[in-house]
Structures are given as structure tokens and as C-alpha cells.
Amino acid sequence: MTTLAGTGGLVRFILRRDRVRLPVWVLSISVSVLGSVASFASTYPTAADRQARARVLDSPVASLFVGPGYGLDDYTYGAMTAQEMLPITALAVALMSIFLVVRHTRAEEESGRADVVRATAVGRHAAAVATLAVVGGANLLLGVLLAVALPLSLEGLSPGGSVAFAAALTGVGLVFTGVALVVAQLSRAARAALGAASILMAAAYLLRAVGDMGGGALSWLSPFGWATETRAYVHERWCALALPGLAAAMLSVAAVAIGGRRDVGAGVLADRPGPATGPPLLGSPWGLALRLQRAALAWWTVSLLGLGLVYGGIAEEAGELYEDVSAIAEYLERIGAADAADQYLALTFFVSALIGAGYSVQSALRLRGEESAGRAEPLLAAPVSRWRLAGSHLAMSLGGGVVLLLAFGLGAGTTRALSAGQVSELPRLLGAALAYAPALWVFTALATALFGLLPRASGAAWAALAALAFVGFLGPLLRLPDWAYDLSPVEHIPRLPVAEFTPVPLVLLTLVAAGLLAVGLAGFRRREVGAT
Amino acid sequence: MASAISVSGLHKSFGRTHALDGLDLEVSPGEVHGFLGPNGSGKSTTIRVLLGLLRADAGGVRLLGGDPWRDAVGLHRRLSYVPGDVSLWPNLTGGETIDLLARLRGRVDRGRRDELVERFRLDPTKKARTYSKGNRQKVILVAGLASDVELLVLDEPTAGLDPLMEAVFQQCIRELRAEGRTVLLSSHILAEVEALCDRVTIIRLGRTVETGTLAGLRHLTRTSVAAETSAAPTGMRELPGVHKVRVDDRRVEFDVDTEHLDAALRRLAELGVRSLRSRPPTLEELFLRHYGDELAGDQGEPGPL
């Protein structure tokens, strides 16, 4: 078929471009799963430990974070793996698929590189099909890796269950490969495609969580629900794997069909004309940074506000559940004993701070993105100092982090105040959330220091955040040594509202942030600027 | 009066690549100065040093009396920069981009801005990501030309413009010159440089090979002559400084070094001139002469234009 001409060449081209990126995605996901699963043996050595763990998870609220709870009455390592690892890993697999697909479809078109490729003897459908082949292949490879390695990583994981677990993950990956392929047809901007696909992913995840909380019917509408409904390691239902296969096939066919009808570079949704003159805001680097980052900040704020509302609303119930369980109890010991709901809330503030740090890093690294796209140059060729250019985006990162914490505190405080019937909860929790601001600033400052001194390695700020989030979430499970916690700025914040407020760590973290910022800015002032 | 731009012995390396290897450039206030060189000869690197984006390894660089690295912000208030290959913010409209850059330089003249948008036939309501190459170039050109500045640094400013817009651009530069502004024009379009520039600097491999007025540079090169004579045109080949002689019956064509033009014309007069055409060397010929050896070695890359 001529519309597929050149597909093989494009597959090789994508593999060549992503020879580092693809293995990093596949290996980091599989190693995280295998490492966590291997740690179960030491964390929950006896059946009694596992049963205690199962009791915590036997609640509607738990479904928000883990699976629907198959096999809780006989909580084997297998049931534990499926229940606690499947939903979160499925999110990672979905993200991998979305990022890779958009990168090789819409991003290529937006940059104009696709024109050059399509002007050669390459067919209309080749790019979409080649992307499908590579990303689908990455998902299959991940599945095979896990299916083979899971039984080896922990005794008691059956080969059959491991195949079901791995196939469920691959299924989610293939569905979101299809989703991203379709979404990439709609808008001209790669950023918009990424955003839309991520929102669909979050919605599907929430649909599964809400469905599992109440009976499970809704879960069947979500790809994440299909994954948990394979009931890996408990009572495998292989027919549930047909759904993702079917959905992925239909989405891919739809994407290819839409792609074959539209113009290269064009979206299905047309661009509207904008203002002919710049609003007064667009007269300074600050205004430009606000304009460039405001949409992202708005999305982050709404997400954290929503998360806060949910966490605040379920604090009472969740706190009681978590109280008497070994692994969580151990975690809570690090915080200090107190009111159950407060303990739970302290945990959620910690989690929200780690999420918010994602914004801090993303927002600060916008500086690097603008520089490597060549858009720092026209500003620096105008009377804009390096300080002001960097400061404009850093203000968004530093200030935006505070906005996010306030949004989360406002959400949690509002629902908590309503359910506890005490208005005073609102200011108390708002303050508790705000205490994490210096920790977020350290992340902003770390990204800035990398940007100033080692611009090509700026992305390492993400690696640092991922490593510290790993410590934060899985540290207690893996019994990491204390120095691992000491590295993380988030760990130094007193766990309000449980712990007592002490200003010293906050002041110290602020000083660390200021120091890193100064180093980064001095480096940026001194180094050369270029689109490389 | 001090130079608007003064560069002497500028060196700049990127790793093992010597991008600039002792480059000199003098631009006087009020002149339009052409800056020529083939791809990769170091024009954009020089300009990025002048803008304080890159730091010179060695050599003296003065811009409007200041140090471009140290005094960047103060100097940038007094200049406009138009790159030839620009990436704009994809979701800002053309109008928003123009206003942003003009306001950053201060002193926005609304009337002049609107007039330029009109003259370049730019639709300012479109998002930057939807503009064609030529239209993106118009956005950055209008932003650069709209500001009230002493110096314009233009790096291949008309890349992607159609001939109509090229004419508008040339008209704008003439107006700016009449107002006494200084322009550094790096360009590949030799006709554009010939039409606009008072003086030119030609560089090669990061070094200045020629600088001066166009008239002065022409002295260094050859005039093309075509003549019809009464007697058969013999003996032309033997004359000093005469090259590429082509004889067809009574017609003769040749190139002659400017210093030997007089002798060649005397010889023609002896033969009895019935018609005569002579053409001064074009900038293109000047340019090609400097890079002729490169062309001889590599036929694959013809000269610009």
C-alpha cells in the first residue's frame, strides 16, 4: 500500500532518535515494579502481616489509591502485587505512551519537520503507523519483561498471574497509545495534545477509583478498570484483556483515518484569530512569563484544589483506617502520634507538596525550554537583563508553588471544616499547607542552579524530584536509611498539623533555596546564551 | 565621532571550531554597512557577540561606545535586532509579539507601528504558530523597525520575504538612513547590499578579507567590456590585466583589471570601435572572486543569489 510507504524506515528512525529514551522509560517502570514487589517479602514476612495490611485496604476510600480489593480475604503476595502496584504502574505506562506518541506525531508536525519527511517517498499513514508500532512495541516489551521477571523477583508470584498482570499493563499502554494518536490529530499544538491526553488519562483513573468505591460498574468504562478486572494472581479473568485490545485497535484505526483526511500540520480544530495588539500586561518579561505560564498554573491549581477537597472530605474515615496497620503505623510514627484524621491530613500535605514540587520544577525549567527554542534571544537583545529574564519565570515558579499549596490547603480545609463542623479547621490547615513553601522553593532553586551552571543537564531536576518522591512514597516500605530522608527538602518540614510548628527548618530551607538561586543566577549571568 | 561598532582582532571558538579568527569590523555612525560572507563564515557569531549573547575569547569589541557583554541592557535600549531565523512564541499573535518587543525597548510609537504593519501587509491577529516563514519574518522586522533607536543590527533580515516586501524593506532602510540612523546589514542578497549600503565588509572563515566603500572595492576588481571593432580584434590577449577574452569575428568580450582599463581601451580605439558596452563589476563578481577558489574546489555549492 503506498500510503504506508516508508513505514519501516520511520520505525528505524524513531528507534534511533529514542535509543536512550525508550529503554529509560521501559526499564525505570519495570525496575520500580520489580523492586517494590521484591521488598514485600521483608516488609510483610508473615501471612498475619499481610492480612493486617489487607484490613487497611478494605475500604471504599482505599480504592482511590489502590485496586478494587480482589483477594483481600487471602492476601497473598500475588494479590498484594495486583492490588497495590497495578493502578499506579498503569498510570506510569499510560504517561509513557502519551508522551512518546505525541513526540513522534504532533510535535514533529508542529516543528515542521514532518513536512520534510512527508515530502520524501513516505506515505500518508506511515508516521502514525510507525509511531504505533514503536510505542506498541515498547508496551509489549515492558509486558514481556514483567511477565518473565515477576515470578523471579518474589516467591509465590505465579507465572499465570504474572502474565495477567503484565498483559493488563500492556493493555492500558496500548489504549492510551490509541488515545494519544487520536488526540494528536485534533489540535495544532503538541502541548495541547499532551494536556488533553493527560486529562483524559486522569479522568479515566478517577472513573475507575469512583467506580471501585461504589460497586464497580463505572470501572468497566475505564481502561484502568479493565486492568484491575483481570484480577491477576487472584482469579484471572482473561476475557477482560479483550477490551483494551479492542479499544486500542478501534482508536488506532480512527486516528489513522482522521490523519489520512486532514492536511499535514493542520488540526481538526481550527485556530481562531487573536488580538491585533498586545494587552498592557505584555510589556515586560514578567508579563510575558505570566502569559506563558498562566494556563499551566491554572490547571495545577484546579487539580490541587480538587485533590484537597477530596482528601479533606475523607480525612476522618481514612485516618481511622490507617491507624492500626503496621506499615502505615510505622510511617505515622515518623510523624508522631495524634488525632487520626490529623495524621492522615499530615500525610496528604506531604503528598501534595511533592506534587506541587512538580510544578516548581516544570515552571523553573521553562527558562531552559525558552532558551533552547531560541526565544530567549529576542528578549536578551532588547534591554532585558539576564536577571530580569530569569527572575520573571522564577517568580512564576516560586509564587506559583505558594498558590498551589494555598489551593490544596483551601480545599482540604474547606471540606474538613464542613465535615468536622469547625470553621477553625480552615485557617489551621491553610497554614499547615503553606509550611511546605520553602521545600518547594528548594526545588525551584535546584532547577535554577542546574539551568545556570549546567544548562544541558537541566532535566536532572526532574530526576532529583523523582528520586525524592520515591524516597517519600516507598521509603517506609523499603526501610531506607535516614540519610535518604535527609536529602529531601520535603522531609524537613514539620508534619503539620500533627507535629509542632518550628520555624528553624523553614528558615534553613529558605536559605538553602536562596543560596542555590544565587548560584544559578550568577551562572546564567556569566554563561553564553544560545539555542543549543 | 566615535564608531558605532568597532571590532578588532575578534576571536571566538566553540570547542575545537574557530568560528572567528581575528575579525575586524568598523561601522561609522549614520552609515548603512553591509556585512557579507558565505554560510558559516562567522557573521551571526559576530552579531551575537555584539549583542552580548556570546563572550569574545579575545579582541576588542565596542558597540555605541560601550562593552556589549558588560553594558548589554543599557546598549540594547539604543538598538534593534532583527534575526533572520527567529522562533516566536507559538500562542502569541503577531501583534502581541510586536508590542511586547517594542515595549521592552521602550518608547512605542503607535502610529509608526501601525504604519509598518500596513506597509508589510501583515495580519497581526494570527497566532505565531500559524504564520509562514515570510510572515514570521515580517513580525520580527516590524518589531525591529518600529523602535526609535540609533542602531539597527539586521542579520539576514529579509530571509523569506517576497520581492514586493523586499522593496518595502529597502525603502524603510533608506528612510532610516535619511534620519541619520546606523544600520549593520548582514545579508546574502547582494543586490540588496548593493542598493542600500555605503560600505561593506566581506569576511571569510572568521576573518575580514575586504572592507571599504563599494566604489573603492570595485577598483580592486574587473570591468566587463564588450565591443565591436572595424578591424579584427587581435592582440587583446597579450595585454596585461585582460582576462577571459572571447572573440567572435569582429566582436570581442573580455574582463579587465581596473588599473589596466585605460590600456585596453586604447587598444580598442586603435582597432576602430563601432560599439562599446562596459559594465562595472557587480558585488556578486566581487564576492565570487574572493570565494572563487572555494567554488573551483566545490562545484556543488554555487554562490548565493
Q: What percent of chain A has pLDDT over 70?
A: 93
Partners of A530 on chain B (C-beta within 8 Å) are 48, 53-54
- pLDDT tens for residues A158-191? 999 999 999 999 999 999 999 999 999 988 888 8
Q: Assign 3-state DSSP to chain A and report helix, strand, coil percentages, each to 5.
A: 75, 0, 25
Query: What is the structure's pLDDT at A61?
Result: 62
Considering only residues 54 to 73 of chain B, which have any Cβ-Cβ distance to chain A shorter than 8 Å? Answer: 54-55, 72-73
Interface test with B, best of A282, A393, A526 (most B CBs within 10 A): A282
What one-character-per-residue DSSP string does A405-469 give?
Answer: HHHHHHHHHHHHHHHHT-TTHHHHHHHHHHTTHHHHHHHHHHHHHHHHH-GGGTTHHHHHHHHHH
Query: What is the structure's pLDDT at B296?
Result: 47
Interface test with B, best of A115, A380, A456, A524 (most B CBs within 10 A): A380
State if pTM tops 0.95.
Answer: no
- The closest CB to that of A273, out of B83, B88, B126, belongs to B126
Q: What residues are paired with A504 via a beta bridge?
A: none
Query: What is the structure's pLDDT at A515?
Result: 97
Hey, what's the cell of B61? 569589541
Phi, psi of B77 (to 5 degrees): -65, -25
Round the average pLDDT of chain A to a whole number and report it: 88
Residue B16 scores a pLDDT above 90: no
Query: What is the structure's pLDDT at B236?
Result: 86
| 3-class secondary structure per residue, chain B | CCCCEEEEEEEEEECCEEEEEEEEEEECCCCEEEEECCCCCCHHHHHHHHCCCCCCCEEEEEECCECCCCCHHHHHCCEEEECCCCCCCCCCEHHHHHHHHHHHHCCCCHHHHHHHHHHCCCCCCCEHHHCCHHHHHHHHHHHHHCCCCCEEEEECCCCCCCHHHHHHHHHHHHHHHHCCCEEEEECCCHHHHHHHCCEEEEEECCEEEEEEEHHHHHHCCEEEEEEEECCCCCCCCCCCCEEEEEEECCEEEEEEEHHHHHHHHHHHHHHCEEEEEEECCCHHHHHHHHHHHHHHHCCCCCCCC
Rg (Cα) of chain A, in Å, rounded? Answer: 24
Query: What is the structure's pLDDT at A431?
Result: 93
Round the average pLDDT of chain B to a whole number and report it: 88
Query: CA A291, CA B280: separation in Å to the nearest integer?
Result: 55
Residue A51 scores a pLDDT above 70: yes
Q: What percent of chain B has pLDDT over 90?
A: 52
Query: What is the structure's pLDDT at A64?
Result: 67
- pLDDT tens for residues A426-466? 999 999 999 999 999 999 999 999 999 999 999 899 889 98
Residue B31 scores a pLDDT above 60: yes
Q: B126 and A274: CB-CB below 8 Å?
A: yes
Query: CA B34, CA B44: separation in Å to the nearest integer?
Result: 13
CA distance B75 to chain A (A): 7
Considering only residues 105 to 124 of chain B, which have any Cβ-Cβ distance to chain A shorter than 8 Å? Answer: 105-106, 123-124
Three-point CA angle A303, A304, A308, nearest 5°: 120
Query: What is the structure's pLDDT at A325?
Result: 53
Q: A285 and B104: CB-CB below 8 Å?
A: yes
Query: What is the structure's pLDDT at B298?
Result: 42
Q: What percent of chain A has pLDDT over 90?
A: 55
Residue with cell 485533590: A307
Q: B81 and A378: CB-CB below 8 Å?
A: yes
Hey, what's the cell of A242? 479483550
Residue with cell 543537564: A457
3 state SS of A495: coil
- pLDDT tens for residues A106-119? 999 888 888 888 88
Q: A275 and B55: CB-CB below 8 Å?
A: no
Q: A383 and B52: CB-CB below 8 Å?
A: no
Phi, psi of B80 (to 5 degrees): -120, 150
- The closest CB to that of A528, out of B55, B87, B98, belongs to B55
- The closest CB to that of A188, out of B51, B53, B129, belongs to B129
Hey, what's the cell of B67? 562593552
State which residue of chain A sits closest to B68, comparing Cα positions: A381
Residue A511 scores a pLDDT above 90: yes
Query: What is the structure's pLDDT at A332?
Result: 57
In sequence order, which residues have a C-beta less than 8 Å from that of residue A67 and are 6 or more positions away? A82, A83, A84, A86, A87, A212, A228
| Packed helices A190-213 and A159-186: angle between N→C axes, nearest 10 degrees | 140
- The closest CB to that of B53, out of A110, A283, A528, belongs to A528
Partners of B86 on chain A (C-beta within 8 Å) are 374, 378
- pLDDT tens for residues A11-30? 999 999 999 999 999 999 99
State which residue of chain A sits closest to B12, comparing Cα positions: A528
CA distance A405 to chain B (A): 28
Partners of A279 on chain B (C-beta within 8 Å) are 96
- pLDDT tens for residues A471-498? 777 666 666 788 888 888 888 888 888 7
Query: CA B155, CA B37: separation in Å to the nearest integer?
Result: 12
Partners of B140 on chain A (C-beta within 8 Å) are 378
Query: What is the structure's pLDDT at B303?
Result: 36
Burial grade of A369 (CB within 10 A; 0-12, 13-18, 19 or more): middle
Residue A327 scores a pLDDT above 70: no
| Packed helices A340-372 and A386-420: angle between N→C axes, nearest 10 degrees | 160
Q: B86 and A276: CB-CB below 8 Å?
A: no
Hey, what's the cell of A327? 506499615
Residue A124 scores a pLDDT above 90: no
What one-character-per-residue DSSP string does A100-134 give?
Answer: HHHHHTHHHHHHTHHHHHHTSS--TTHHHHHHHHH
Work out the average pLDDT over A184-204: 87
Work out the average pLDDT over A195-219: 83
Phi, psi of A20 (to 5 degrees): -95, -45
Query: CA B28, CA B1: separation in Å to the nearest integer?
Result: 8
- pLDDT tens for residues A133-152? 999 999 999 999 999 999 99
Residue A85 scores a pLDDT above 80: yes
The pLDDT-based confidence of A313 (bands split at 50, 70, 90) is: confident
Query: What is the structure's pLDDT at B85?
Result: 83
Residue A320 scores a pLDDT above 90: no
Work out the average pLDDT over A210-238: 87
Query: What is the structure's pLDDT at B37?
Result: 86
Work out the average pLDDT over B252-277: 89
- pLDDT tens for residues A252-297? 999 999 988 888 777 777 677 888 888 888 889 999 999 999 988 9
B155 close to A (CB below 8 A): no
Q: What residues are paired with B207 via a beta bridge?
A: B204
- The closest CB to that of B73, out of A275, A287, A385, belongs to A385
- The closest CB to that of B105, out of A275, A375, A382, belongs to A382
Three-point CA angle B66, B72, B74, nearest 5°: 75
- The closest CB to that of B51, out of A273, A373, A381, belongs to A381
Closest CA to A179 of A254, A88, A264, A111: A254
Phi, psi of B185 (to 5 degrees): -115, 105
Closest CA to A361 of A434, A200, A469, A470: A469
Query: What is the structure's pLDDT at A141?
Result: 98
- pLDDT tens for residues B175-233? 999 999 999 999 877 788 888 999 999 998 899 988 998 877 776 677 889 999 998 88
